[in-house]
Amino acid sequence: MITRYQTKEMARIFNDEYKLKKWLFVERIVAGIEEKSGVIPRGLSSKLAKIKVKPERVRTIEKVTNHDVIAFLEAAREKLDKRAGKWLHFGLTSYDLVDTAFVLMLLEAIDVLLGDVKKLLTVLKRLSLKYKKTPQMGRTHGVFAQPITFGYKVASWYEEVKRAYQRLILARKEMSFGKLSGAVGTYTMLSPALEKRVMRKLGLKPEPVSTQVLPRDRFALLLAIIALYACALERIATEIRNLSRTEIGEVLEPFTRGQKGSSAMPHKKNPITCERISGLVRVLRSYLIPAYENITLWHERDITNSSVERVIFPDAFHLAHYLTLKTRWVLENLNVYPKRMMENIEASYGVYASQNLMNKLVQHGMSRGEAYNTVQRLSFKTIAAKEDLKKTVLKDKKVCQYLNEKEIAKIFDLKWFLRNIG
Report, as residue numbers or ranges, the catalytic residues: 141, 262
Say whether 248 sits in a helix, a strand or coil: coil
What is the distance between the alpha carbons of residues 296 and 294, in angstroms, rounded to a whole number?
Answer: 5
Q: List all residues 6 or more positions away from 385 whose beta carbon is below 8 Å from its beta carbon.
A: 392
Say whether 146 sits in a helix, a strand or coil: strand
- Amino acid, single-letter form, for residue 13: I
Cα 117-224-206 angle, rounded to 5 deg: 90
DSSP string, 360-371: HHHHTT--HHHH
DSSP string, 269-294: ---HHHHHHHHHHHHHHHTHHHHHHT
Tell how far CA 99 is from the center of its chain: 23
Specify the DSSP element, H or E, that contains 144: strand 143-149
What does each C-alpha distance from 117 to 234, 289, 366 come to in angstroms? 14, 25, 51
What is the distance between the alpha carbons of residues 78 and 54, in angstroms, rounded to a whole number?
Answer: 11
From 417, 325, 358, select the one nearest 5 (Cα to Cα).
325
From 318, 229, 320, select the one nearest 9 (Cα to Cα).
318
